[in-house]
Each structure stands twice: as structure tokens, then as C-alpha cells.
Amino acid sequence: MLSASKRLGKELPKIHSSLPPGISLVAADGFAEWFMDIRVLDANPIYMDQTFRLKFKFTNAYPIEAPEVTFVRTPDRPIPVHPHIYSNGFICLDLLGKQGWSPVQNVQSICMSIQSMLTGNTKPERPPGDEEFVRTNRQTARDGALQAIAELPVKGYSDGLVFSEGRDTELNGIYG
């Protein structure tokens, strides 16, 4: 985890000194897992006065590979209702996939992208197939669950994100 530790060691002081409004560091005990809180700052009625918690899991491949980023539920932090956020906290965002990730991204830029994604949302709904996905898929985002979902066409929808090529999954009852 040498390159990840080196990179995160550079990111942490910047996070402590200058985070954008609505983003705060909750915990960064070591370089394996960090927790960040984000709030939507505009008057979006869907998320007004709510704070959401993100969990970042880093592997030794960071920053070459994206960290695993999920929303986590706490007693006072819900998982946001959004068309690209599953009720188990998985986030469908191309930035977090193999094709959308770039090593120039960092924890702050990921938080800002997710904050922006929430700000622009006008539909308080879950992705199609949310209940089935959460019930049948126990993988983590790093295990490829989001990549698999993103490349499968959703019934009734013609577009979608593509994170990786050629994955086979158990989700064919919901997708494709």
C-alpha cells in the first residue's frame, strides 16, 4: 500500500486545511478507510437540511485505481434517494469506474462530483431494479457489482453507463 499511503498522506493535510463548503472529513484513521460527510448546499427540496456519509475504501492500487466509495447509513445519516444510488449505498457514477477514473482525481474531487450529482437531481427515486439488486447482490462495489450493472441494459431504458467490458452476472432477471 506504499503508493496509496504516499498519495493519501499528501491528500490528508489538504483536506484538513481546505475543503469546499458542504464537505467535511469525519474520520481518516490510517490509509485504508476514510469517512466523509456531504451536504447539498442549494435549495434542492429533495436533500434540504440532510447530511450524507460516504465511506472510502482504498486499495494499494490507489490512485491508479479508484477507491470504493459508498454511502453508509447511520442513525442520523440516511442514504440519499437518487436514480444512481442503490438503497444499499452503492453509487453508479462513471468517475468511480475503470473507464471514468483518472489518477488526477482525489477524495475531494470525488466528494464534489457526488455533491454535484445530488444537487442536480430532480427525481427522488431509486435506480430501476433496486430492491432485486440489493436482495440478490452481496458483492461490494470493488467486486464489480456496479460495473456489471452499468454495462447491462435496464429493461425499459435504452441508455446506461459502461464501466467495463465483458462481465457476466446473476442480474439477468432485472437487466437485459
Q: Annotated catalytic residue: which of 92, 111, 114, 150?
A: 92
Is the model's pLDDT at 19 over the cut of 90?
A: yes
Q: Catalytic site residue 111?
A: no
Q: How much is the mean pLDDT over the chain?
A: 83
Is the model's pLDDT at 9 over the cut of 90?
A: yes
**More confidently predicted of 163 and 25:** 25
Is the model's pLDDT at 18 over the cut of 80?
A: yes
How far does CA 80 lie from the centroid of its chain?
A: 11
| pLDDT tens sequence across 112-148 | 999 999 999 999 999 999 999 888 876 555 444 444 4
**More confidently predicted of 174 and 75:** 75
Superfamily per CATH, domain 2-128: Ubiquitin Conjugating Enzyme (3.10.110.10)
